[in-house]
Structure 1
Amino acid sequence: MAELSIYLDQNYQHQGIGQQALNFVISQLVSLKIETLLTFIFSNNQASIKLFQKNNFELWEHLTAVAQMVPTDPKLDLEIWGRHF
């Protein structure tokens, strides 16, 4: 099992780079003997959710109000998406 996070600068989003990165990771899983891939996504990050949904990841868990990036901000929900290969 492995966890994947993809972070792109705003200037490079919506150019297919996230999909390219995910394709590369998936292409390496057999040689690395990894059968399960997880990703943790804040539920308000719809672009990331769409990327992983498009690549057949499933929502495995929804954690309500578990993360707070700035102390004065509201707590965020976190989702765990996964796929077996």
Structure 2
Amino acid sequence: MTYLHRTATPADLPAIVDIYNAAVLSRTSTADLDPITVESRREWLAEARHPTWVGYHPDDPGTVTGYLSFEPFLNGRRGYDVTLDLAIYLHPGHRGRGQGRDLLTAAIAYAPRLGARTLATTIFASNEPSLRLFRSHGFEEWGRLPAVADLDGERKDLVIVGRPL
């Protein structure tokens, strides 16, 4: 199965927020502990320096099944502009079907158009599916921050992975 993507619009925010909040509740891929709102994401989308993509299945282009955002690396300090931080979140019903692979493959090909020479992301060490996905696309472990997150009493190590373009 191949998933497609397009640039996110404000109309996609409810789906993006639902997908992200599923990750918040699962405690597997974000250190946010409280759900977010559509209103809290309006500025994030409107003022983003780089695109956010929404994924969808070609048989149902009206349903957002995941998203990928190109984020500034380390708080957007200009010296880091050659590195982009990727974030991929998938609807729980569309995980393990190739959507993450399709989004990441497209992002690697597209990132040089944004001036990137390097891609990076942070993944909880316990999130083996995400680590496998990024490793399969040439990302290597660049560092590990032990027990830097506490999710309801569970300490989480954070793995930094990256790759040159």
TM-score if structure 2 supplies the norm length?
A: 0.49
Percentage of identical aligned residues: 36
Higher relative contact order (CA 8 A, sep 6+): 1
SS of the equivalent of 1:6 reads strand
The AA in structure 2 aligned to 1:39 is T
Residues 66-85 of structure 1, C-alpha deviation per residue, up to 9 Å, x if partnerless? 01233xx2210000000011
What pairs with 1:55-70 in structure 2 (closer than 5 Å)?
Answer: 55-70=137-152
Equivalents in 1 of 2:162, 2:109: separation in Å? Answer: 16
CA distance in 2, matches of 1:29, 1:5: 13
Shift of 1:36: 0.6
Q: Which runs of 5+ in 1 are unaligned?
A: none
Mapped to 2, the partners of 1:74 and 1:16 lie a distance apart of 29
For residues 24 and 63 of structure 1, the distance between their equivalents in structure 2, rounded to whole angstroms, comes to: 28
Does 2:124 match 1:5?
no
Which residue in the other structure is 1:77 paired with?
157
Structure 2: runs of 5 or more not aligned: 1-82
Show the counterpart of 2:102.
20
SS in 2 for 1:60: strand
Cα RMSD (Å): 0.9
What pairs with 1:31-70 in structure 2 (closer than 5 Å)? Answer: 31-70=113-152
Q: Aligned pairs, how many?
A: 83
Distance in 1, Cα, partners of 2:149 & 2:96? 26
2: distance between equivalents of 1:69 and 1:27?
34
| Equivalent position SS for 1:55 | coil
* Residue identity in the other structure for 1:38: A
Structure 1 or 2, whichever has the larger Rg, is 2
Q: Letter of the aligned partner of 1:58 in structure 2?
A: E
Q: CA deviation at 1:49?
A: 0.4
The answer to whether the 8 Å contact 2:119/2:163 transfers is yes
Give distance in 1, aligned partners of 2:112 and 2:149: 33
Moved over 3 A (4+): none
Further displaced range: 9-18 or 26-35: 26-35
**Distance of 1:62 and 1:55 partners within structure 2:** 19
